[in-house]
Structure 1
C-alpha cells in the first residue's frame, strides 16, 4: 500500500486560531496567515460592528492621525489617494475596510462579538473562549489551539477620577468614545486635557461653540501645524500621486528613513535631543504671543517624554481666540452646573468634554485564565510583564500583538506536534529587568505623564520597546528558543513522519535534484550578521549618512512659523519635518 501524504516529514498539522480584535493588527494577522499557510482556521471576534479598532472608536471633532498619511499604511499596501497630509479617522477606517475587502478577510471576522472570558485547558492543550453576540445577546462557546490578543491598548476611555460626576446635569463626552449625535453649536464647553486629542479638538470646535474653557494641567511639545485642514492635498496633487506611484514610494521611503534616523532624540543628553528641544522651543515661542503662555505652555521635560503633537500652530492660534479661555491646572471636582478648578474657581458649562486619553494599563479587558486558574488581569494589575511584546510568561499558546514592550505587531503559529509553548518565567523576568535598566537612559522616564507609564509620573517602567523600531525588528527576526518552554503531544520527533518520505517527493512538479548546483548558495543568508546586512540592504546606492544626526532637527534662523507652515503643506518637499 502506498504511503499517505500525512505521514511525510514536516506534514502540516491543522491549527485552529482565534484572534480578539479586528483592528490593524488583527487584519494583518488574517492577511499573513491566508497568504502563507494552508492547514488553519481563523476566527476574529470584534466587539465593534465594524473593523479598524481604535479608528472606529475615535470619532471626536478633528480626529486625525499624527503620522503622515502615506506612511500610516501597511508597509506592503500603500494608498495613493490620501486626501491630506494627516488623514482623518473616517478616511483611515475606509483604508482598513478596503484592505479587508480586497483580500477577502471578512470571511474570518465576526463583528459585534465581545470576548468575555478565555480559559486554558491543560489536558487538551486548547483555549476555551466565551463570547457574547452583542446583536442577539447569545453566549457562544468556542475553542482554539492558539489564542491571539490583538485588542490594542488605545481604546478604553480614561475618565478623570474626580468626585461629583453624578451631580452634573449637562452633557458629558469623552474623546475615546465620542457621541457624534451631540451638537456643540452655541454651547459653553469645558474641555479637560491638553494632549494629542485636545490639540485636535480645540481648533475643530472653537468656530461653532459659544465659549470653550480648556483645562491644561501639563504642557505638550508641539510640532509645526500639519493638520487635516492645513495639509489638504489638492485634486491635482492627488491625481499626480495616483498617476505616479513611484513618487509616493519616494515620499514613504524618505519619511521612514527620517523616522528611523532620529531614535537618539529619545536618549538623554544627546545632540538630537538638544537640537529638537531648541527647534521646538523656538517655534513654540513664536506661536505664543504672551510671556505667561510661553512660561506655562512650553514644557520643561525632554522632547519625546510625552508624545510630540504635530498640530502646533493652529492649536496655539486657537488658544488666543476671543471665545477661548485657558485654565491652568486640572479639575478638582464636578458640580451640577460645571466643574471646579484646582485653584477653587467654579466654571459653568453645558458640556464637559474629556480629552483625557486612554486606560493604558495593559490590563486585559476580559479574564485570561491560565494554568492553575491564574488570571492575567490580576497579575498585570500588580506588575506588567510579558516577553518582547508577543508572549506572556507561562501562559501557553497565547500571544499578544502590540502588547507591552513592543513597537510593531507580530504573530506566530504552530504546525509541529506541539502541545503548548510559552515564554519561561525566568526569561520574562530577565527581559523586564533589562528593559528597566535601559529606560533610565531614555526621556520616557523624565517627569511627564505619558501612555508608556500609564499617565503617572515616576510610575511603572515605561512599557514601550527599549530601542528603535529597527532595533525591535532585528530583535524579533529570529526566535530565541531557549527562552521558551515547549511541550510536545507525543514524541517530539513525530514531525519526521512515519514513512521516511519528504515533502518534495509529494510534489509532482518538484526537482528531486534541487541540491545539485554549479555554485554555493548566496552567502548573505549563511549567518546572522550576513542576514542582517542583507535585510538592511547594506551596500546599496544610498549615500552614506552622518550617524545619529538629522539635519531637519537643527534650528535655522529662517525657521519662521510661516516658512515651516509652507514646508508642511508641500506634498513633495519637507513633509518629513512632521516626524522630526
Structure 2
C-alpha cells in the first residue's frame, strides 16, 4: 500500500512563484519549472506588449547580435535555419516568441503589466507584489513564496541628461526604444553616441539619409564586420543544417571552443591582450589612413575594457562617406532645431537618434522592500551586494537572473541563464519538499566575502582600465565591475551546485518534518508505511527533464 502523499517523505507543498520579466531569462525559468515541477503556480509580469525583453526593445536599424547566431540559443533548443552568421534582432525575437508558443508558456505570462512595488512579509514568509495593467491602469496585488527578478542587464534606456532636451522640435528617439515607423529618407540626422548601437546604426542609415552627423565622445576598439549583411548563409547551407542537425552541433561546438579559449584577452598584460591590441590598431590605421581620425578613434586602453564594437570596420568605412560628418566631442545641450556640441558649435537636424546606451546601475525601477524596511534600490545605489548573479545579501526567498556579477562580458549569456535557472530551481525544489522552510537568505558575510574576492580579481582584469564601460555604469573605475571574475566556463562550474552554507535557512516548524510521519491504520493497529517514498513525493534533479506526461520534453 502506498503511503498517503501528505505523510510521505519529501511531500511536495504547493509553491507560488512570481517572475518579473519575460525576456530570455524569464521564459527559460518558465520552461524549467514546467518541465520539472508539478505543484506550482507561476506568473510572469512584463511591462512590454510582447515577450523577448531586450530583443523586443532593441529594433533600431542594423541591430544584430555580436555572438554567432547558432550559439545565441538555449542549449536544448537549437535553431537550424538562421539566415546569417550573426542574427539580426528581429530573427532573435522570433526565436523567443516561437519558443514560448512551442512550449505553451504564454499561459504564465501577463504582458503590459508593470511591477510597481515588491515587499517582504516576514510573518507570512512571502513576497507581496503590486502591479499595474498598463492598458487599463488597474492596480493588482499578488503574492508569492519565491520572487525572481529577471529584468535583465540592458533594460533601462539612458537618455542624455542635457538642458533643452524637451525643447527640441524635431523627431527624437532612443536606440533602445526605436520607432520603426520613422522615415529617414532624405533627412538630416544627428546620431549621438558611437558605442555598440551607434556603430551598427551608422552604416545601416548612411545610404538612406541626406546627411548624418555623428558625435563621438571617446574611442573604442573595433572588430571585423559582423552584421546581418555580412556572411549570409546560403540556401544550400541552411538546408544542410536542417537536414543534418549534427552539422549545427559541430558548428556550435567549434564556436564555443573559440570563444572560451580567448578569456586571457581580458587579463591586463596577457600575451593575447598585447597581440590583439597590436593587430586591431594596425588594421584600424589601414582603414582610416588619417592622422586625426587615428588619434581620435584608436584607444589607448586595453582591448575589452569597453565592449568591443561589432561591425566595426563597416562602421569605419561609413565614417568616410561624403554625407557623414564626424564631430569628436560630446553633446552639451539641445536647441529647438538640434544640439550644441562641446566644441561650442550648433548642429541642426530633422531627427536625433540617441544611441546613448543603458542605465546599468542594477537599481530597480520599483522598490524592493526587504526585512526591516530595507530597500534594495537604496542599498545598491551605494554598493552592489549581489551574490554570484543570483541573489542579494540578506533578502529572503528572492533571486535574480542575469543579476550583478553574471558573466555578461564575454560569450553568449544564454548558457549562463540556463545555469542560473537550474540553480534557482534547486532552491525551489528544496523549499517545496522541506515544508518547514520559512525562508532562504544569502548570508551577509558570504556576500561581503564574494564581493571582496571579485574586487581582488578585477585589479588584474581589463574592466578596471581607463575607460567608461557598462560594467562600471559608464564611469571610470567608479565601482567594482559587475561581471563574473572569470570565464563563462568558470561560472558554469561555480554554479553547478549550491553552496548551502552561504545561505541561511529559517524554519517555521520542526526542520525534520520533511521525513513524514507514522500513523496507525484504521483500527487495525499495524503501522501504515507512510515513511516510504510516495511515487509522487520525491526529490528531483532539476537539471534533468521529468518523464513524459509531467511537463517533460
How far residue 79 of structure 1 moved from its aligned partner, in angstroms, is 0.4
**2:2 and 2:231 mapped to 1: Cα distance?**
67
Is contact 1:224-1:283 (8 Å) kept?
A: no
Within a 5 Å distance, the mapping from 1:50-199 to structure 2 comes to 50-199=50-199
What secondary structure is seen at the aligned counterpart in 1 of 2:173? strand
How far residue 291 of structure 1 moved from its aligned partner, in angstroms, is 2.1
Question: What are structure 1's unaligned runs of at least 5 residues?
Answer: 511-580
**Alignment correspondent of 1:486:** 505
Alignment pair present for 1:497 and 2:516: yes
State TM-score, norm by structure 1. 0.86
How far residue 505 of structure 1 moved from its aligned partner, in angstroms, is 4.7
Over the residues paired in the alignment, what is the CA RMSD in angstroms? Answer: 1.6
**Alignment correspondent of 1:506:** 534
TM-superposition CA deviations, 1:453-499 (whole Å, max 9, x none): 00111211100011111111111112111211110120011111113
How far residue 17 of structure 1 moved from its aligned partner, in angstroms, is 0.3
How far residue 405 of structure 1 moved from its aligned partner, in angstroms, is 0.5
- State which of 440, 455, 476 in structure 2 corresponds to 1:457: 476
TM-superposition CA deviations, 1:304-349 (whole Å, max 9, x none): 1011122022111110000001100111111121111111111111
Is contact 2:3-2:530 (8 Å) kept?
A: no
How far residue 85 of structure 1 moved from its aligned partner, in angstroms, is 1.1
Q: 1:9 to 1:186 in 2, by over 3 A?
A: same
What secondary structure is seen at the aligned counterpart in 2 of 1:19? strand
How far residue 406 of structure 1 moved from its aligned partner, in angstroms, is 1.0
**2:112 and 2:156 mapped to 1: Cα distance?**
17
Alignment pair present for 1:299 and 2:299: yes
**2:11 and 2:62 mapped to 1: Cα distance?**
52
**2:3 and 2:10 mapped to 1: Cα distance?**
15
Is contact 1:52-1:96 (8 Å) kept?
A: yes
**1:21 and 1:423 mapped to 2: Cα distance?**
22
For these two proteins, the number of residue pairs brought into alignment is: 509
**Alignment correspondent of 2:543:** none
Question: What are structure 2's unaligned runs of at least 5 residues?
Answer: 408-415, 519-527, 539-553
**Alignment correspondent of 1:575:** none
Within a 5 Å distance, the mapping from 1:20-31 to structure 2 comes to 20-31=20-31
**1:310 and 1:132 mapped to 2: Cα distance?**
37
**1:163 and 1:32 mapped to 2: Cα distance?**
47
**1:240 and 1:311 mapped to 2: Cα distance?**
27
Is contact 2:4-2:534 (8 Å) kept?
A: no
**Alignment correspondent of 2:493:** 474
What secondary structure is seen at the aligned counterpart in 1 of 2:76? coil
**2:289 and 2:233 mapped to 1: Cα distance?**
30
**1:254 and 1:176 mapped to 2: Cα distance?**
32
Is contact 2:8-2:532 (8 Å) kept?
A: no
**Alignment correspondent of 1:205:** 205
What secondary structure is seen at the aligned counterpart in 2 of 1:80? coil
**Alignment correspondent of 2:551:** none
State TM-score, norm by structure 2. 0.90
**2:470 and 2:533 mapped to 1: Cα distance?**
53
Q: 1:381 to 1:507 in 2, by over 3 A?
A: closer
**1:356 and 1:45 mapped to 2: Cα distance?**
27
Is contact 1:10-1:503 (8 Å) kept?
A: no
Within a 5 Å distance, the mapping from 1:293-372 to structure 2 comes to 293-372=293-372
Within a 5 Å distance, the mapping from 1:359-398 to structure 2 comes to 359-398=359-398
Name which of structure 1's ranges 64-73 and 336-345 shifts more when overlaid on structure 2: 336-345
Name which of structure 1's ranges 158-167 and 387-396 shifts more when overlaid on structure 2: 158-167
How far residue 401 of structure 1 moved from its aligned partner, in angstroms, is 0.4
Structure showing greater relative contact order (alpha-carbon pairs closer than 8 Å, 6 or more residues apart)? 2
